[in-house]
Amino acid sequence: MLPPEYASKGVRVSSIHPGYIDTGMADYASEQTGSSKDELGKEFPLGHLGSVNHVAKYSAFHCLGRIFLYDGY
């Protein structure tokens, strides 16, 4: 976390924290917890696992400075 005093110097920080993405890591978590991937996804505000494409699309828009509202679909 960047200290707040950097804001007065014009430094801005932006980050993406998508939660579980439907990858091998989610498969592993599902195996370790005994929960289905659908059950794991319900733990997050969107109610489902994200996809690699969702993260890539959001990241591209975010980095290009365009407005993009992500609602999970």
Per residue in 37-67, pLDDT (tens digit) is 999 989 888 788 989 888 888 777 777 765 5
Residue with tokens 């932006």: 14
Residues facing 50 on adjacent strands = 21
Q: What is the mean pLDDT of residues 19-31?
A: 90
In a domain, 44, yes or no: yes
The number of folded domains in the chain is 1
Output 73 or 61, whichever has higher pLDDT: 61
In a domain, 3, yes or no: no
pLDDT of 73: 42
Q: Using a CB cutoff of 8 Å and minimum separation of 24, what contacts does 31-39 make?
A: none
Which residue, 9, 2, 14, is CA-closest to 58? Answer: 14
In a domain, 30, yes or no: yes
Rounded to an integer, what distance in angstroms lies between the CA atom of residue 59 and that of residue 38?
24
Domain hosting 45: range is 20-73
In a domain, 8, yes or no: no
pLDDT of 10: 80
